[in-house]
Amino acid sequence: MSIAKIGAQIDELDTPTLLIDLDTMERNIETMAGFFRSVPAELRPHAKTHKCPVIAQKQIEAGAIGVTCAKLGEAEAMVAGGIRDVLIANQVVGEPKVTRLVNLAEHSDVIVAVDSYINMRHLADRAKSKGVRLNVLVEVDIGNNRCGTDPGEPTLELAREVAGHNNLNLRGLLGYEGFCQNIRDIEERREKAHGAMAKLINTKELLEEKGLDMEIVSAGGTGTHMITGRYPGVTEVEAGSYVFMDATYSRVEGLEHFNCALTVLTTIMSLPRQGVAVCDAGLKAITIEPSRPLPTVKGLNGVLYERASEEHGRLKVEPDSGLRVGDKLEVIVSHCCTNTNLYDYYHCIREGSLEDLWKISARGKSQ
């Protein structure tokens, strides 16, 4: 990375570089915080999106109750960055990780999900050896077809055994209606999310009837925050992408009050022929996944990002685009969460100049 000087203008930065527009990000944080002031559920933003404790701290200052993580390594990075309240919305499996988890529990309020007896007993055993009481949610599969116990009796059985371990503290349930997040039509999304939430809340009520405390019911994401966040019985929502937005979520109805704060700055390397420009941001600088839209060029009509190879992005341009070799463009990423995993730093921009550099300290922390 070329060294960038604080105060530099965007055009002076080397490329490809990951930029945050701070004004836009701060508005997104405040908009979501404002929504959660209006409903009983709390916001526990997903830090897998930004992987950066500086941003997590800003979300907490605006009212969030802590952060959600996808991996233990992310949770460790958040705790190292001063965040105490961390939910790992995932299973933590295997000897090295379970040892790390109980170590982390000694100096944080970490909560972990379980969905199997073998893993839960492993957690209980190591928590006992370490002398800690580990906070646990049981993960319920509410239609996402990924991890989780089946709703109802299977969840009750596992939760009862969790509650029976002195070194495990059953705090509640986790469910994720991930399959609803990117449904563009809001009515269809609402209907499917309500179906998923009914499974989760019915299970919660069953467990409460059987005498189990259900202090936490965690669910939701950016695409369903306004649905799940209002659903009776849901106590916290894990929305993450709202902080940056991206080309995928920009197509989803009902998120118009969030704006794209994350871009990749890229340089035109070549204008090989009429109608084509090649920029220096390819698959190693902008993630492109099956079933997601391509990145989009910010603020320029008639320039389309149409194809990526590893280190090249091919742009379709109008004949009168006026682009020259060396010009710089900002590209709105397709999927913010995987894109931030490619970079070591955010270049933080305010009104066109570099205000700060933030380390993406949980980049690559998939263990």
Contact criterion met (CB below 8 Å) for 184 and 253: yes
Residue 74 CB, nearest approach to a copy of itself (Å): 9
Q: Which stretch binds a copy of itself (CB under 8 A): 56-64, 126-134, 268-276, 350-358?
A: 268-276
E strand or H helix that includes residue 76: helix 72-80
Residue ranges in 98-127 that form contacts with a copy of itself under rule CB under 8 A:
100, 115-116, 118-119, 122
Contact indicator for 56, 340 with CB cutoff of 8 Å: no
Task: Report if residue 9 touches a copy of itself, rule: CB under 8 A.
Answer: no
Q: In the complex with a copy of itself, which residue's Cβ is closer, 259 or 341? A: 341
Among 41, 112, 217, 285, binds a copy of itself (CB under 8 A): 285
Can you tell me the distance from the alpha carbon of 341 to that of 36, in angstroms, rounded to the nearest whole number? 28
What is the footprint of a copy of itself within residues 194-253 (CB under 8 A)?
A: none
Candidate ranges 19-27, 101-109, 145-153, 250-258; the one touching a copy of itself (CB under 8 A): 145-153
Confirm or reject binding of residue 181 to a copy of itself (CB under 8 A). Answer: no
77 part of the interface to a copy of itself, by CB under 8 A? no
Half-sphere exposure of 139 (CA within 13 A, CB side): 24
Stretch of residues binding a copy of itself (CB under 8 A), selected from 24-32, 77-85, 222-230, 335-343: 335-343
Q: Other CB atoms closer than 10 Å to residue 182's CB: what's the count?
A: 16
CA dihedral sign of residues 119, 125, 128, 129: negative
Quote the distance between the C-alpha of residue 106 and its chain's center.
25
Unique residue bearing structure tokens 């993406």: 360
Quick one: which of 3, 2, 22, 56 has its CA closest to 263? 22
Residue type, position 116, single letter: S
Among 281, 331, 333, 348, binds a copy of itself (CB under 8 A): 281
- Is 94 one of the binding residues for a copy of itself (CB under 8 A)? yes
Nearest approach in angstroms of CB 40 to a copy of itself is 29
Prior bond to 16 cis, omega within 30? Answer: yes
In single-letter form, the type of residue at position 125 comes to D
Distance CA 72, CA 270 (A): 42
Does 269 engage in binding with a copy of itself (CB under 8 A)?
yes
Number of residues that bind a copy of itself (CB under 8 A): 65
Strand order in the sheet with 168-175: 42-43, 236-237, 216-219, 168-175, 134-140, 111-114, 86-91, 67-69
User: From the CB of residue 355, how many other CB atoms can be counted at a distance below 10 Å?
Assistant: 13
Kindly tell me which of 24 and 45 has the beta carbon lying closer to a copy of itself.
Answer: 45
Q: Is 357 in the site for a copy of itself (CB under 8 A)?
A: no
Choose, by CB under 8 A, the member of 65, 147, 163, 186 that binds a copy of itself. Answer: 147
Nearer to a copy of itself (CB atom), residue 141 or residue 236: 141
Least distance between a copy of itself and beta carbon 148 (Å): 6
Distance in angstroms (rounded) separating the CA atoms of residues 363 and 175: 25
- Judged by the rule CB under 8 A, the positions of this chain that interact with a copy of itself are 1-2, 14-17, 48, 70-71, 73, 90-91, 93-94, 96-97, 100, 115-116, 118-119, 122, 141, 145-150, 178, 267-273, 276, 278, 280-281, 283-285, 287-290, 309-312, 314, 324-326, 337-338, 341-344, 364, 366-367
